[in-house]
Amino acid sequence: MTELIDLVLLAMLAITAVGVIFLKDLFAVVMLFGIYSFLSALIFVNLDAVDVAFTEAAVGAGISTVLMLSTLALTGRQEKVSDHKTFMPLLIVVATGAALIYGTLDMPPFGNPDNPVHQHVALRYIQDSPQEIGLPNMVTSVLASYRGFDTLGETAVVFAAAIGVLSLLGMPKRERAAIESGLESHLVLQVVAKIIIPLIILFALYVQFHGDYGPGGGFQAGVIAAAAIILYALVFGLPVATQVLQPDLLKTLAALGVLIYAGTGVASFFLGGNFLDYNVLASNPVAGQHVGIILIELGVGITVFAAMLSIFYAFASKAERKNIQ
C-alpha cells in the first residue's frame, strides 16, 4: 500500500514540475512550486521522514513561497516570450538524464534492509543513542549531539544569509504608523488573524521544546514563529509590525542565537571537555546531553526566527517603498 501511495504522489510531483516549465504566468509558477513543496512533504511522511516533512512543509511551502511572491511584487508577474533556441538545453538535459538513469541501475534496491547505507554508522546511532543520549527522537540526538558541528555551521549559514539580504536590500526603520497600510477592508481576515496568531506562536513554542520526543526542534519552531509574525505584517501592515518587533531587536536576536550555540561549546571547554562535548555540562553524562541539546536548540530557534523575519522585513519594505498595495 505504501508503494501505491508513493507511486501516485511521485507521479503528481512530476506533473507539477512539467507545469512549472510551460507556464508563462509567474504567479501560477510560484503557486505550483508551493504545491510541489507540499507534495514532497507528503512523500517524506510516506518514507518515514517525519522531521524532514515538517521542515519541508514549513520552509518550502511557507517561507520560500512568501519570499518569491514578494519578489514578484517588485519585478513583475508575466514572463516575456524569449527568442532562446530551446534545442541546445533540451539536448544537454536529455543527455544528462540518460547518464543519470544509467547510473541509478547500479544503486541498491529501494527499501532493502541490507543496503550499505544502513550498516556501520547508522546502526551504531540507532542502537546506542537511547543509552548515550536518552532522547526518543533519534534525529534530534544525531542532529544536536553527534553531528553538532554541522548544525553550528548551518546556523551560521542562516545568519550569514540574513546579513547578505540586509546588505543587499536594507532594513526598514521603526517608524510611526503614518502610512495607513494593511488590509483595512478585510474585516473577516483581521478577526481570524487575531484569533490564530497567538495559537501559532504557542504551537511554535510547543514544537521547540517537544523536539526531543517527537518531530520538531529549533528550525521548525523558528520558521513557524516567523510565519506568525509574517501573517501579522501581511494583514495589519508592515509599519505596525515593525513597531511590534523592532528591526534592531531582530538583528540582536539573530546574533544572540549563534552566540548561545557557540557559547555552549566554549562552556564545555571551561568545564573540562572538548568543544561541544555536552557530557561535562551536568553531573552525569545523560543529563549533560539533555542540557546541551536544549540550549543549542534554543540558539538555533532564536537565530532562524530572527533571520527569516529580517529577510521578510527587507523584502516587504522594498515593496512598501514602491507603494504596491
Partner 1 sequence: MNFIIDYYNYWVVVFLMMAGFYTVIAANNLVKKIVGLNIFQTSVFILYISMGKVAGGSAPIVADGITVYSNPLPHVLILTAIVVGVATTAVGLALVVRIKHAYGTVEENEFKHKDDLI
Partner 2 sequence: MILEMISNIFLILGAFFALTGAVGLFKFPDFFTRIHAASVTDSIATILLFSGLILRTEFDLVAVKLVFVLVFLLLTSPTASHALAKSARHGLLATSAETLSKTNKDNN
Question: Which of these, 54, 48, 57, 56, lies nearest to 126 by C-alpha position?
Answer: 48
Q: Is 1 in the site for partner 1 (CB under 8 A)?
A: no
Give the three cell numbers for residue 205: 513554542
Q: Are 64 and 10 in contact (CB under 8 A)?
A: no
Based on CB atoms, which residue is closest to partner 1, 128 or 175? 128
Contact 224, 216 (CB under 8 A): no
* Residue nearer to partner 1 on the CB measure, 52 or 282: 52
| 75 is a site residue for partner 1 (CB under 8 A) | yes
Stretch that binds partner 2, among 55-63, 114-122, 125-133, 180-188 (CB under 8 A): 180-188
CB 320 within 8 A of CB 238: yes
Residue from 239, 315, 316, 317 in contact with partner 1 (CB under 8 A): 315
Residue 186 binds which entry of partner 1, partner 2, none, CB below 5-8 Å type-dependent: partner 2
Does 179 participate in binding partner 1 (rule CB under 8 A)? no
- Collect all residues with Cβ–Cβ distance below 8 Å to 16 and sequence separation of at least 6: 32, 35, 36, 39
Rounded to an integer, what distance in angstroms lies between the CA atom of residue 138 and that of residue 122?
Answer: 10
Q: What DSSP designation does 59 have?
A: I
Q: Is 99 in the site for partner 2 (CB under 8 A)?
A: no
Per partner kind, with CB cut-offs from 5 to 8 A, the member of partner 1, partner 2, none near residue 192 is partner 2
Q: Is 324 in the site for partner 2 (CB under 8 A)?
A: no
166 sits in the region (left: phi over 0; alpha: psi -120 to 50; else beta) called alpha
Nearer to partner 2, 31 or 171 (CB): 31
What does the alpha-carbon distance between residue 81 and residue 25 come to, in Å, rounded to a whole number? 11
82 or 185: CB nearest partner 2: 185
Angstrom distance (rounded) from CA 70 to CA 63: 11
193 vs 221, beta carbon nearer partner 1: 221
**Of the listed pieces 177-185, 239-247, 283-291, 304-312, which binds partner 1 according to CB under 8 A?**
304-312
Binding of partner 2 by 186 (CB under 8 A): yes
Q: Of these partners, partner 2, partner 1, none, which one is at the site of residue 100 (CB under 5 to 8 Å by kind)? A: partner 1
Q: How far is the CB of 310 from partner 1 (least distance, A)?
A: 10
Map the footprint of partner 2 across residues 187-206, applying CB under 8 A: 188-189, 192, 195-196, 199
Of these, 92, 179, 202, 324, which contacts partner 1 (CB under 8 A)? 92
Task: Tell whether residue 253 is a contact of partner 2 (CB under 8 A).
Answer: no
Which residue from 149, 151, 150, 146 is spatially nearest to 125, judged by alpha carbons? 146
Interface residues for partner 1 in 238-257 (CB under 8 A)?
none
Nearest distance, CB of residue 275 and partner 1, angstroms: 19
Residue 78 three-state SS: strand
Q: Which of 305, 271, 314 is closest to 58 using CA atoms?
A: 305
Applying CB under 8 A, does 21 fall inside the site for partner 1?
Answer: yes
Is position 169 an interface residue for partner 1 (rule: CB under 8 A)? yes
Region of residue 234 (left: phi > 0; alpha: psi -120 to 50; beta: else): alpha
Treating both helix axes as pointing N-terminal to C-terminal, what angle do 50-58 and 26-46 enclose, rounded to 10 degrees? 170
Site residues, partner 2 (CB under 8 A): 185-186, 188-189, 192, 195-196, 199
